[in-house]
Amino acid sequence: MFENKTIDENRQGEAIVLEDGNVGSKKLFLESYGCAMNFSDSEIVASILAKDGYSTTNVLEEADVVLVNTCAIRDNAEQRVRQRLKDFKKLKKNNPDMLVGVLGCMAERLKTKFLEEEQIVDMVVGPDSYRDLPNLLSQAEEGHRAVNVLLSKEETYSDIAPVRLSSNGVSAFISITRGCDNMCSFCVVPFTRGRERSRDPKSIVAEARDLFEKGYREITLLGQNVDSYLWSGGGLKKEILTEEQKAASVNFAQLLEMVALVHPDLRVRFSTSHPKDMTDEVLHVIAKYENVCKYVHLPVQSGSSRVLEIMNRGYDREWYLNRIAAIKSIIPDCGISTDVITGFCSETEEEHQETISLMQDVVYDFAYMFFYSERPKTLAERKYEDNIPEEVKKCRLAEVIDVQREHSAIRIKGMVGKTYRVLVEGISKKSDEMMMGRNSQNAVVVFPKENHKKGTYVNVFVDECTSTTLIGKVVV
């Protein structure tokens, strides 16, 4: 239950197609990289282009249009995309009419420069410009290279019903915010996804209800910072709202409760939380409703208050540990995961050890861990020297990984001997005779197949485990 890669590396390029297929005269091959938000955006893209006569395919060679939804969080994420474009270039020699488009954060970061650097690319489309895809495709079909990377202060795609791509028919994403206002010094997201804006809660609840009626039993509410969700009714930014308007608004805790009330058999997860914004109100909602999963992903990034300050995270070590204490007090059985960056600008060995000691204090179930990678146009690139040698960054990362490996083992072993309600997601990857699902704490559970069906709930008594998986038997 540990990971030494960023989320974008964990979910490498993945071709995503309709579970049941859709019918159209033109074929779209859509490949996504990066975070869950990118995969959610790809579902919006598929919906927009379905109305324009495109059906999705997982056979690259038969595609009329190839779209790559990209991530810009780290340089190696971008390099994987560039390598993939070389594959498309070879294919295009045999199919010169095939169009290639780059979507998402990397497109937004590089803009028209992408067309200069990658001659194979016909379209460059930013995260807020997907409605313009049919027009951009028309331009590309006429031989013009097309670009739209305009960022929006209003776009949330709330009126578009996403096409569920590569779905297991059980779990789905719902975006509740777009963009980010936090301006962490290491992060490129505010520059590639724009300012934060929240969706109308009525549209979110309606989407959750529709998914439940279609047989889905788990949703994940997505946002760069879900805790800062705030719907004022008029789309006003929260910093200019009066106290009276704020009192009449819907915050994240209230939204979470509204979604939980859709149906008790609809599981609710969310990602990602921000330590500076997570309130006890949210934690009490999690504790109150059985169908709100007892799992919080709370990125710390560093255990040093000085490093957190130059990261512009908006909290210090003491504040973060206060939030951890609140989670453990209000939700005693909560699973907790995090993100850790090693080797940020000017980080000393003593400050690295502060991160290790914080991990020892918390004992996370899971962590995304990686060494610092400077990104263009960020505050860190402009203001700080990336002065930690790569071998030191990697050495510190290895130490963090070793600690997390030990802690993950402690946490997974602590679940043995208990019974958990598990949502059945499908056949286990390792055995056709076993089913798999996850418990509320997000741990993977496998159990004998018998007659259990995907999308149902079972109670599983866990009697053994591997380093990452719980193993048990269904009990009444």
In CATH terms, is domain 419-475 a member of 2.40.50.140? yes
Confidence of residue 5 (pLDDT cuts 50, 70, 90): very low
Q: What residue spans in the chain does CATH classification 3.80.30.20 cover? A: 171-413
339 pLDDT more than 90? yes
Output 9 or 115, whichever has higher pLDDT. 115
The predicted model scores a pTM of: 0.89
Instruction: For residues 240-265, give the mean pLDDT.
Output: 86
At residue 230, φ and ψ (nearest 5 deg) are -155, 120
pLDDT at 64: 94
| Mean residue pLDDT across the chain | 91
pLDDT at 380: 97
246 pLDDT more than 70? no
In CATH terms, is domain 171-413 a member of 3.30.70.2860? no
In CATH terms, is domain 7-148 a member of 3.20.20.70? no
pLDDT at 244: 64
pLDDT at 24: 59
pLDDT at 253: 98
pLDDT digits (tens, 9 = 90+) for 157-193: 999 999 888 668 999 999 999 999 999 999 999 999 9
pLDDT at 25: 80
Q: What residue spans in the chain does CATH classification 3.40.50.12160 cover? A: 7-148
pLDDT digits (tens, 9 = 90+) for 180-228: 999 999 999 999 999 999 999 999 999 999 999 999 999 999 999 999 9
pLDDT digits (tens, 9 = 90+) for 86-96: 999 989 888 89
Instruction: For residues 345-353, give the mean pLDDT.
Output: 98
pLDDT digits (tens, 9 = 90+) for 42-59: 999 999 999 999 999 989
